[in-house]
């Protein structure tokens, strides 16, 4: 392994994209020339940016780097934190072991490969219902509204026991929380609204339990569970946000990518045996967690030839890692016939996505059915007029106008 | 060839059960790894190795015959 030579001049995170499907310009050069580089954060602090697959994986499984982001810098905007804000109880994404382990263990069995495969008939039914509705409406439609957003929202609502009829509210609050240039006050308001909504839902589930996850967590026979209403609220809102926002963006952006690579769409339509490969390759190629994964050094750490100081923020760019030519041949090519299983679009280490098997089931049900139902599917606007989510924490498209021969 | 696991490290991501279902499953009780065959035939060596590489928490170790003890 070559010794990293960090730049003496900290630079901000690259964010300008040349191509809607490629990571922002500059990552390739960084990965080649300075894979561990000094990063200048908007709050004025200096930290580190990692862009090589091997380094990104290493930092994400190293327990000396903390996921508690209360004192971290954000690479794209200051985290809006009010004075006196408590950490969100139950929100395991910002916790380290052993605290993280306790919550993760309570929900892991709900998201196993086998359990998610058991949901396949229901997910396929939901996909078919939305394709039927598109057919009835006729072209053109916005694929985000008609397909990509409703499908994962409905699935996670059923899994958690959240009323789907109330989706407009939680989808709007999520969009506000994830928008980069949102004024602080409106972020606070959305956060409070989402909290209050989930808190009242937890109260309802205590009184009127059902078979879904939230109720089952409340009424668990496992004595180690015993979650407070605060913990249930934090955990519930994390699962709700993570369960609908991410897959929605993969479905829409993945469809956009396939429409811009018609030979790949053709292969997907005619080779159903390749669907699992296609899902992994789209995850790798698009890596929608576009600004990387943030960690904080708990102590001074010698890492791959550099000294990272206690308290410094490290940004592990999983998007850059998934384009590392040392790991993936021709990394900038979308090729659904390749085996992309080693991608880290779901992260790595203890926080690797809890819902990844659910996301896979939704994508493997969604993409082929869409392209088989509408073989003539194409963009209804020029590709450069599709509005990109450069302004959101999770990448994707705001709208995807599509048409087909009716 | 022998498969060893450190179940205490498992977080139930499911990479092993997804990519090497002949060798690994997840428990219905806690979602954590269950080894179905800890002495897999040579034909499944590549799947055992893949599961070892993909595990996000280094739970799985594949030992070749000479380490078998």
The dihedrals phi and psi of A114, each to the nearest 5 degrees, come to: -65, -45
Is A104–B12 a contact, with Cβ atoms under 8 angstroms apart?
yes
Contacts of A112 in chain B (CB under 8 A): 12, 14, 17, 26, 28, 31
Q: Does residue A2 have a pLDDT over 50?
A: no
Structural domain contains residue A5: no
Which tens digit of pLDDT belongs to each residue from A32-50?
999 999 999 999 999 999 9
Q: Give percent above pLDDT 70 in chain A.
A: 95
- CA quadruple A277, A278, A279, A283: dihedral, nearest 10: 100
- Of A112, A342, A348, Cβ closest to residue B14: A112
Structural domain contains residue A383: yes
For the ranges A66-70, A121-125, B65-69, which has the lowest average pLDDT? B65-69
Q: Confidence band (pLDDT; 50, 70, 90) for A135?
A: very high
Go through A102-115 and write b for each residue having 16 or more CB atoms within 10 A of its CB, e for each that does not: bbbbbbbbbbbbeb
Structural domain contains residue A8: no
Q: Does residue B69 have a pLDDT over 60?
A: no
Residue A382 contacts by C-beta under 8 Å, 6 or more apart in sequence? none
Structural domain contains residue A333: yes
Go through A202-219 and write b for each residue having 16 or more CB atoms within 10 A of its CB, e for each that does not: beebeeeeeebbbbbbbe
Number of domains observed in the structure of chain A:
1
Measured in whole angstroms, the distance separating CA A286 from the mean position of its chain's CA atoms is 11
* Structural domain of A293: 27-403
A332: nearest Cα among A281, A403, A267 = A281
Q: Does residue A79 have a pLDDT over 90?
A: no
Q: Which residues pair with B60 in a beta bridge?
A: B5
Is A113–B14 a contact, with Cβ atoms under 8 angstroms apart?
yes
Residues of A with CB under 8 A from a CB of B: 60-61, 101, 104-105, 108-114, 341-342, 346-350, 352-354, 356-357, 360
Q: Does residue A391 have a pLDDT over 90?
A: yes
Q: Is the separation of the CB atoms in B49 and B16 below 8 Å?
A: no
Q: Does residue A87 have a pLDDT over 80?
A: no
Is A112–B50 a contact, with Cβ atoms under 8 angstroms apart?
no
Is B13–A342 a contact, with Cβ atoms under 8 angstroms apart?
no
Contacts of B14 in chain A (CB under 8 A): 111-113, 356-357
Q: Does residue A153 have a pLDDT over 90?
A: yes
Which tens digit of pLDDT belongs to each residue from A187-230?
999 999 999 999 999 999 999 999 999 999 998 766 556 899 99
User: Which CATH number fits the domain that encloses residue B35?
Assistant: 3.30.70.20
Task: Tell me how close the Cα of B45 comes to any Cα of chain A, in angstroms.
Answer: 17
- Of A109, A341, A352, Cβ closest to residue B13: A352
Structural domain contains residue A367: yes
CA distance A119 to A112: 11
Longest dimension (CA), chain A: 62
Contacts of B47 in chain A (CB under 8 A): none
Is A346–B13 a contact, with Cβ atoms under 8 angstroms apart?
yes
* Nearest chain B residue (CA) to A349: B56
Task: Tell me how close the Cα of B53 comes to any Cα of chain A, in angstroms.
Answer: 8
Contacts of A342 in chain B (CB under 8 A): 53-54
- Cβ atoms within 10 Å of A3's Cβ, excluding its own: 8
Task: Tell me how close the Cα of A192 comes to any Cα of chain B, in angstroms.
Answer: 30
Summarize the confidence of residues A234-251 as an average pLDDT.
Answer: 95
User: Which CATH number fits the domain that encloses residue A66?
Assistant: 1.10.630.10
Number of domains observed in the structure of chain B:
1
Which tens digit of pLDDT belongs to each residue from A366-387?
999 999 999 999 999 999 999 9
* Nearest chain B residue (CA) to A347: B56
Summarize the confidence of residues B52-58 as an average pLDDT.
Answer: 98
Structural domain contains residue A3: no
CA distance B57 to A60: 10
3-state secondary structure B24-57: EEECCCCCCEEECCCCCCHHHHHHHHHHHHHCCC
Average pLDDT score over chain A = 94
Structural domain contains residue A14: no
Contacts of B31 in chain A (CB under 8 A): 105, 108-112
CA distance A289 to A41: 18
Which tens digit of pLDDT belongs to each residue from A109-123?
999 999 999 999 999
Structural domain contains residue A21: no
Task: Tell me how close the Cα of A104 comes to any Cα of chain B, in angstroms.
Answer: 7
Average pLDDT score over chain B = 94
Which tens digit of pLDDT belongs to each residue from A173-185?
999 999 999 999 9
* Structural domain of B18: 2-67
Q: How does strand A401-403 pair with strand A141-142?
A: antiparallel
Q: What is the DSSP letter of B10?
A: -
Q: Is B50 on the interface with A (CB under 8 A)?
A: yes
Is B25–A104 a contact, with Cβ atoms under 8 angstroms apart?
no
Q: Is B58 on the interface with A (CB under 8 A)?
A: yes
Which tens digit of pLDDT belongs to each residue from A254-292?
999 999 999 999 999 999 999 999 999 999 999 999 999
The dihedrals phi and psi of B4, each to the nearest 5 degrees, come to: -120, 140
């Amino acid at each position: 392994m070559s010794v990293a030579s960090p730049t003496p001049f900290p630079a901000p995170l690259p964010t300008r994209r040349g191509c809607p499907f490629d990571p922002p310009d500059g990552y390739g050069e960084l990965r080649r020339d300075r894979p561990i580089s000094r990063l200048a954060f908007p709050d004025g602090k200096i930290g580190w940016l990692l862009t090589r697959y091997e380094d990104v994986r290493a930092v994400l499984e190293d327990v000396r780097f903390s996921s508690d982001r209360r004192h971290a810098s954000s690479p794209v905007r200051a985290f809006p934190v009010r004075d006196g804000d408590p950490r969100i109880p139950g929100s395991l994404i910002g916790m380290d072991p052993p605290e993280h382990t306790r919550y993760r263990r309570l929900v892991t069995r709900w998201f196993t490969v086998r359990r998610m495969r058991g949901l396949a008939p229901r997910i396929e039914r939901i996909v078919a219902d939305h394709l039927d509705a598109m057919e009835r409406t006729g072209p053109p439609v916005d694929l985000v509204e008609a397909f990509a957003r409703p499908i994962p929202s409905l699935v996670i609502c059923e899994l958690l026991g959240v009323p789907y009829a109330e989706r407009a509210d939680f989808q709007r609050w999520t969009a506000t929380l994830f928008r980069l240039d949102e004024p602080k006050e409106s972020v606070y308001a959305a956060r409070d609204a989402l909290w209050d909504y989930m808190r009242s839902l937890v109260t309802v589930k205590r009184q009127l339990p059902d078979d879904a996850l939230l109720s089952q967590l409340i009424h668990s026979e496992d004595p180690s569970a015993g979650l407070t209403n605060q913990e249930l609220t934090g955990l519930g809102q994390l699962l709700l946000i993570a369960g609908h926002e991410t897959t929605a963006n993969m479905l829409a952006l993945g469809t956009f990518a396939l429409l811009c690579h018609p030979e790949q769409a053709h292969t997907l339509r005619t080779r159903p045996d390749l669907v699992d490969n296609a899902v992994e390759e789209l995850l790798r190629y698009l890596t929608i967690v576009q600004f990387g994964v943030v960690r904080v050094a708990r102590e001074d750490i010698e890492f791959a030839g550099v000294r990272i100081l206690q308290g410094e923020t490290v940004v592990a760019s999983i998007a850059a890692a998934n384009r590392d030519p040392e790991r993936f041949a021709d990394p900038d090519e979308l090729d659904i016939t390749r085996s992309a299983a080693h991608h880290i679009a779901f992260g790595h280490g203890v926080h690797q996505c809890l819902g990844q098997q659910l996301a896979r089931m939704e994508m493997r049900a969604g993409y082929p059915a869409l392209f088989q139902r509408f073989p003539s599917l194409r963009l209804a606007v020029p590709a450069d007029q599709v509005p990109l989510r450069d302004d959101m924490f999770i990448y994707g498209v705001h709208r995807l106008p599509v048409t087909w021969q009716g | 060839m022998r498969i060893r696991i450190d179940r205490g490290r498992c977080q139930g991501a499911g990479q092993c059960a997804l990519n090497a279902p002949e060798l690994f499953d997840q428990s219905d009780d806690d979602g954590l790894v269950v080894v179905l065959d800890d002495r897999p035939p040579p034909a499944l060596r590549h799947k055992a190795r893949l599961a070892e590489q993909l595990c996000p928490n280094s739970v799985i170790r594949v030992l070749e015959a000479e380490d078998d003890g």
